[in-house]
Amino acid sequence: MASLGRHIIVEYYNCSSEILNDVVHIEKSMEGAAEDAGATIINSTFHHFSPYGVSGVVVIQESHLAIHTWPEYGYASVDIFTCGDTVNPWVAYQILKEKFEAGHGSAVELLRGEKALLKERDFDIKAMRDEKSSEEGSPIRTRDVWFTERDDKIALSLKHDGKLYDVQSDFQKVEVYKTQAYGNLLTLDGMVMTSEKDEYVYHEMITHIPTLTHPKPKRALVIGGGDGGTARELLRHDCYDEVVMVEIDDKVIEACKEHLPGIASAFGNPKLNLIVDDGIKYVKDAADGSFDIVIVDSTDPVGPAEGLFTVEFYKEVYRILSDDGIMITQSESPRFNSKVFKEIYQVYRSIFGQDQVHCYLAYIPTYPTGMWSFSYSSKGKAHPLKDFNAEESKAFAKKHGLKYYNEGIHQAAFALPSFVAEMIS
């Protein structure tokens, strides 16, 4: 051949948007194309970006294949670069066109390293290569695939071994990834909801603080919480006669039963009344004073959870609380979503009263910035610290082997950093 390498610059148009947003499918397609073209794979690294887009590279002994996708346009850009004459890059081109279900593709081939312009050096590269290969042995193939939750200013990436669940429900994209650091991970529309390794922080803090400061809770309502963790923690308490859980998306429940069974372990509890319906509608139809504790275990204020962040909804929650009732919500990250954080505390105080609303914090590694807030809004006399029994809390945490909540954490959670206190003052 007249050159050292062949470089094909490829564009695929009118591809399947679903495929271009599926990092595992793209990884397998790129690796398959490389192997069918005659290449030897050394390493592959792929990243999925939230809400959409995939970047990746397959390193081969003969050079590399690289890709970036724009699912929103049905477009993929690919580089196929091979050295020598043992790999046919056009085989890879055709395979990827079929795998991405492209309407059409275009490609330009460049010959890299024109031999007519090069002068070969006088050393035995073959002997050197063979000697080095005998020292190192055959190349070890490695694989890196990453899920990335990203917005304009911040991102979280988690290495994973593939998807365990991938369903587009009537409401959102429900996925479960098998991550290497945090176990199985639930995402909704590309946003991290919970993982096996750190879920206990969120679920213990959203449940035990209200239960251990209410005079005598007997009936609790959970809005959302389809993973089952909030219900699981509430049902550790013998005081409850019934826990009602209203989740709008049955696919979330299905995914967690199958792939996060430790979190979803309470779904068979006879005290749990599981209702698949719209939580906003359920609250509106509920009787006055019918619940001692209401926990709004929602996602961020987008998609199906958007209606859970309105004045009208919280007024309805206030109505269905008993006289000593407590409302708990996840109230976003003070640093990451400061606008929503400040606004919802103003709403809570306008409904429950200025001195009846309290903020507390927990630290969750897979949530944006790590710092996450919860609100404690009391309809009656219940207070998160004045009515707190440290000995009871200590005994409860020890009995159930809790991993995050204890009597010290309960009190410390309400000690706010100055910047957080100022935001809601």
Report the binding-site residues for spermidine.
203, 227, 297-300
Residue 7 a catalytic site member: no
Alpha-carbon distance of 319 to 290, in angstroms, equals 9
Options 29, 50, 63, 322, the catalytic residue: 63
b/e 237-270 (16+ beta carbons within 10 angstroms → b): beebeebbbbbbbbbbbbbbbebbeebbbbbeee
Alpha-carbon distance of 38 to 83, in angstroms, equals 12
The annotated binding site for S-methyl-5'-thioadenosine is made up of: 172, 247, 278-279, 304
Residue 249 a catalytic site member: no
Question: Residues near 189 by Cβ (< 8 Å), separated by ≥ 6?
Answer: 51, 172, 173, 302, 303
The CA dihedral of 186, 191, 192, 193, to the nearest 10 degrees, is: -70
Options 68, 237, 383, 400, the catalytic residue: 68
Options 189, 249, 292, 297, the catalytic residue: 297
Alpha-carbon distance of 347 to 233, in angstroms, equals 27
The DSSP line for 44-58 is: EEEEEESSS-EEEEE
* Token pair for 126: 């073959």
Is residue 215 reached through a cis peptide bond, with omega within 30 degrees of 0 on the bond before it?
Answer: no
Residue 106 a catalytic site member: no
**Helix extents (H) in 274-417:** 279-285, 311-320, 338-352, 390-400, 407-412
Residue 297 a catalytic site member: yes
Options 15, 83, 256, 359, the catalytic residue: 83
Alpha-carbon distance of 211 to 402, in angstroms, equals 15
Decide: 335 and 371 in contact? Cβ < 8 Å: yes
Residues forming the active site: 63, 68, 83, 297
